[in-house]
Each structure stands twice: as structure tokens, then as C-alpha cells.
Structure 1
């Protein structure tokens, strides 16, 4: 060891640029303060401001400010339509949507009212109507909302037969689920407005689908035959009814005509009888003359003479003369006798 002692005071510490470092720190703090102070709320959103985890206010869309490190902001999409899918998942929405190949049987398989099974896939579209209730009234809101949807859909499907669920009852199911679900979320104050419930696809299980298709085809054939029979019925029955009504009207008209004719004949007979009873000779002669007036025109150019007639006076048939003149035939010198 050297006898010469080490002098620590001879050491020099290098000087740092304190002025430049302080400016950089201040600038960084200012930038951090601005970053944590101002925030942007999009047009379809509402900003919910919390101070130490407690709600203080709701902000509108635009550039807003808050107390850094004291207040936090949760942005809620109040103007955007949200949706939940049940029984399937959409991986890539668009014109040709891509769906997940995974099976969600625990959501889709349901028991109908007639103890059959149907696979029901549906979509619930909704909007956030109250961001405060949406964030703070219900814990695990998404899970709770999905459980509500499944419960309501199973209840409504369980009240109907499998035929109604698969065919004619779909619109009624959508309306019923929408109303009951809206009442339920209102009861729990979830801040959600149900806009639409859409049955995406409803089918029988894959194991029985071929049999169901055969039954469906048989029902369609039955309906077709029924419609054809009804069309033939509508074409034949009204015509037959019209013909029957026409025959009835003709019979009634004929009966009325015969009755009126009989009543007229009876009335005329009674009148003649009364006249005959009061004046037999005159009535007998009138009846004779009326009868001759009806009979003589039908027997042609013949002359009837009484037994006591002494001679015949030649008569000129004016009718025959007129007919001969009109036709240009020669006129005979004498008339018919």
C-alpha cells in the first residue's frame, strides 16, 4: 500500500442540465393533464362521469373535460341499435354473413306445448334508453338480459304446439316475446328499450327433420286437394242453386198463372150463368153467336144451309178476290157457295 493518502475531496461530480430537465418534466405533466382532462363523446354516445366511482353527471356528444385522476368517464351507445343473438353467432356481418359453425343447442332447443322439440334461433334488437340504469341498476347486465330472453322465449314457445311454432305462429311469437320482455326489463329498471324480436330460423331437430319434411309435404298435398275441391264446389254448387231457384220461380209463375186463369174462367162462368138465369133466350143466342164467330174462321170457304132453305144466293168472296188481285191470278166468274 502506498504511503500517500487518498483525498476524497479531490473528486468532482459532473453537473446536470437542470434547467432543460425541468422544462421537459413540466411539459410532460401538462400533456398528461390534458390527456386525462379532455375526452371525446361520439354523436351516438352519452358520457357518464364518475367521481371516485360515484355518478356525478351525464355529458352530451362533443369534446368534454373532467378532473384528471379524480373523475372517470364511461361512454354508453345510446343512439346505436344493439342486438343479442340466440342459437347462433354472426362472425362477419354483411351481404353474405358468415355464421359460426358451433352449435348452441343449450340456447336453441326448446320444448313445445304438445311435448315436441323445436330448434329456435332468434335475434333481439334494442337500444339503451337510460344509461344510468343500464350501468348501475343490474349487475352483469348482459348475462341477466340473455337469461331473461331465454326464459321468455321458452315460456312463449311452451304455450304453443310444434306446428304453430314451425309454421303459422311465428309472428305471434315475436310479438308476444317483445311485449313480455319489455315488461320484464322495465320491472328490473335495466334502461333498455326493446325494438324488435326476430325469429331467425325455426326447425325441428336434425334427427327428425326428414320425417317432419314428409309430414309437411303430406299436409301441403292435403291442402292442395282441399283447395281444388273447394274450387270445384264453388263452381258447381252456385250454378246448381241458380238453376234450382230458376225452376222454382218458373213453377211458381206457372202455378200463379193457372190459378189466375182458373179464377178468371170461374168468374166468367158465374157471370154467364147469372146472365143466363136472368135471360135464358138472349144468353143462349149470344153464346151461339160467339161460338160461331170463333169457329167459322177456322173452317175455310164453306157454306152451311138450314134444312128449310129454298134457294141459294150466289155470293162474291171479297177475301178471295183481294188475294187473287194481289197475286195476279185470274178471277173466277163466280164466288164460293
Structure 2
């Protein structure tokens, strides 16, 4: 409809301030009148927009579709896209597109962010740096474990992990963090239960490595989509009520080790010496055996050679043997006196004075 410009102009003139009346004329109360808003609104009620409003509606729809079709994935994230609740794809960092108006929905998963789960560590959880800080239970009960040799130890630890499979993390397990907690505690109790208390207290790196391997295997079998990046085994100790007894046991073990080392030292000194003496005696006996055998063989060979000569000339050989034996015996008998059997008086032949001087 056409605007009634004359009436609008008349209303604007009425709103303008009127000049004051000349002096001597009455002030008659002729001030400006306020605008009549009802009349103005009545003028606009019948007004129609031009045909361009269809273009505005179309542009608004296009902007809405474009805004709901685009999404951005950060450099440390992955986007899990669902169409009517069903997983259709996983996209990486950058600008991506999807069906608009919640036909497809997007869930951003921080795959490169490191999270920390702490067990038996008595400290206030930092919820900004970790979404999961372990079950809200007594820290001592979580870390109190039975070792393989039926002793009790306090084993606090922490697990650092990340999301390695967005699909498994979102769809396979209802609460992956809670599953990690349960599996971590069960696995640590299994590893500690297979170790002695001394191994738990002194070989923490070995236990941590074995725990990490077993925990990752359990997480993969449960399809949690989580990866264990590091395991930190805190200072392990025995409970305070049994600490004095444990110290006494340690002192006794150290004393036992000391005695064992001393005994081994004496053993290392005595056993080699005894073995050397035994070896020497054996070698001496072997040498004596060889000498006796060779001597016996020589005597036997000499006897056989003499026997052969004896068979050829018995009388000559007997005479020679007799003379050789007398030649060996007589030199050791001192002075020798040969007396005729028919001699009756021996005094002229005996020099008794020389014998007395020899006796003195």
C-alpha cells in the first residue's frame, strides 16, 4: 500500500517546538503534542514485504546447512562419525564434512593426549591433567598386596595411557577407564603374587615391565582401544606395623649372607689347596709306580738273561754269581780273618791292642 506522506509530515510538524508568542500576546498553552503511536502502528499493519524475502529465506537455509555440514578436527584428535547412531567412518585432523541436521553426528576423541591413572598414591587428584585418577577408595587398601612368599607389601603405582583405537574406545567397552582400572589392579596383584617380597622391594623395574606387558595384553583382549605408554612403580615398602619385624629379618638375612660368604671364602682357600695336595700325591704315586715297574722289569730281564747263560754253562755261571755276591758283601764287613780249620792257637794272629784302641 502507498504511504500517506501528508499525514506523516503533519505529525512531524506537530512534534517540532513552536516559537514563543510575541510579547503582549497570551501564552494560550499551545505547546507541542506527543506522537500518536497507535496511528503509526496502524499504518504498518497492512504493509507487505517485497518479493526479496524468499531469497533471504533460501540464503538462511543454505547457511544453516553449511554450518551443520562442516566440522573441524584438531591435530591431536580423531572424529568418529555416526549416521543415525551407527559408526560409518573415522576422520583425521582438518576440515571435514558430514550430513547436516544431526543425520550424522561427530564425536571428537583426543587420541594423542596422555592420561594418568594412579593407584595407591595418596595425593589430591589433578582433574585438569587427568580425566581418571583411580577409584575413590582407600589408597592403602589398593596398594596392600600379598607376595608369593606370603608376605605383605605396599605397592603404589601409576599408569600412563593413550587412546590408540577410536572405534574400540567409543563402541566396544562402555567405560574404558573403569575397565583399565580393574584390569590394572588385577594384573598388579597377579605379578606381585608371583614374586617374593625381596623382589618386590628391590626389582621394581623388572616388575613394572612385566606388569606393562600383561596389562597391554589384557586391554587388547578386552578391546578397550587403550595403549599403555608408561608404568611408574613408586617406592614399595612393607606396612608400618610389621616394619620392625621386617628389619630384624633383613638383619638376620644379612648376617646369614655374611656367614655364607665367609664359609665360601674358606672353602675357596682350603679346597684348591687340598686338591693341589691330592694331585701332587697322585703324581708322586704314579711316579713311584712307574719306577717300581721299570725296576721290576729290569730285574726280571736281568734274571732271564742270567738264566739263559746259566743253562749254557751252569757251573761257570754259578761260580761267577758267587764271586759277584762275595765281592758285594765282604767290603762292608770290616777286618776279616781267614783261619785254617786245623789251626789250634790263634793268639799270634790277633792284634788285641789295636782292637782296644778302636773300641775307645
Out of 72, 78, 102, the position equivalent to 1:46 is 78
Does 2:304 align with 1:276? no
Residue matched to 1:188: 222
* Cα deviation, residue 110, structure 1: 1.9
Aligned to 1:317: none
Tell me: CA distance 1:40–1:114, structure 2 relative to 1, closer, same or farther (3 Å). same
Q: Hey, what's the Cα distance between the residues in 2 that align with 1:259 and 1:236?
A: 34
Alignment match, 1:123: 158
**Cα–Cα, structure 1 residues 9 and 236, in superposed 2: closer, same or farther, change >3 Å?**
closer
1:75 corresponding residue in structure 2: 108
What is the CA deviation profile of residues 251-270 of structure 1, one whole-angstrom value per residue up to 9, with x for unaligned ones? 12112211220221122023
Q: CA deviation at 1:150?
A: 1.2
Residue 146 of structure 1 and its aligned partner are, at CA, apart by 0.2
> Per-residue deviation at 1:52?
5.0
Counterparts in 2 of 1:27-46, with a 5 A limit? 37-42=70-75, 44-46=76-78
Higher-Rg structure is 2
- Is structure 2 residue 62 aligned with structure 1 residue 60? no
The structure carrying a bigger strand percent of its residues is 1
Name the SS for the 1:50 alignment partner.
strand
Task: State the distance in 2 between where 1:123 and 1:7 align.
Answer: 76
Unaligned runs of 5+ residues in structure 2 are 1-33, 50-54, 127-136, 332-360
Confirm or deny that 1:139 pairs with 2:167.
Answer: no
Q: Residues of 2 paired with 1:7 and 1:59: CA distance?
A: 62
Specify every segment of 5 or more residues in structure 1 that has no aligned partner in the other structure, as ranges. Answer: 1-5, 93-101, 299-337
Query: TM-score, structure 2 length as denominator?
Result: 0.60
Which digits, 9 at most, give the CA deviation of each residue in 1:267-321, with x for residues without a partner?
20232133123214554676689899999xx9xxxxxxxxxxxxxxxxxxxxxxx
Secondary structure of the equivalent of 2:82?
strand
**What's the TM-score once normalised by structure 1's chain length?**
0.64
1:85, 1:122 within 8 Å by CA — same for their partners in 2? yes
Taking the aligned partners of 1:285 and 1:269, their CA distance within structure 2 comes to: 16
Q: Is the 8 A contact 1:119 1:203 kept in 2?
A: yes
The answer to whether structure 1 residue 199 and structure 2 residue 230 are counterparts is no
Maintained 8 Å contact 2:204/2:233: no
Aligned to 1:307: none
Measure the CA separation in 2 of the matches of 1:203 and 1:239.
Answer: 45
Q: Residue 37 of structure 1: CA displacement?
A: 2.5
Shift of 1:58: 0.6
Q: d(CA) in 1 for partners of 2:100 and 2:242? A: 62
Task: Report how far residue 153 of structure 1 moved.
Answer: 2.1
Aligned residue for 1:124, secondary structure, equals: strand
Tell me how far 1:240 sits from its aligned partner: 1.8
CA contact (8 A) 2:200 2:207 kept: no
1:45 is displaced (CA, Å) by 3.0
Per-residue CA distance 1:62-83 (angstroms, 9 max, x = gap) = 3334456524433334345544
In the alignment, is the contact (CA less than 8 A) between 1:87 and 1:107 conserved in 2?
Answer: yes
Counterpart selection for 1:108 from 140, 143, 147: 143
Instruction: Provide the C-alpha distance between the structure 1 equivalents of 2:124 and 2:326, rounded to a whole number of angstroms.
Output: 108
The 2-side partners of 1:263 and 1:198 are apart by: 81
In the alignment, is the contact (CA less than 8 A) between 1:109 and 1:118 conserved in 2? yes
Residue pair 2:111, 2:164 contacting (<8 A) in 1 also: yes
CA distance in 2, matches of 1:132, 1:244: 76
1:12 is matched with which residue: 40, 49, 55?
40
- Does the 8 A contact of 1:164 with 1:170 survive in 2? no
The partner residue of 1:262 within 293, 296, 308 is: 296
Deviation at 1:168, TM superposition (A): 5.5
Confirm or deny: 8 A CA contact 1:157 1:173 kept in the other structure: no
**TM-aligned CA distance change 1:125 to 1:289, over 3 Å:** farther
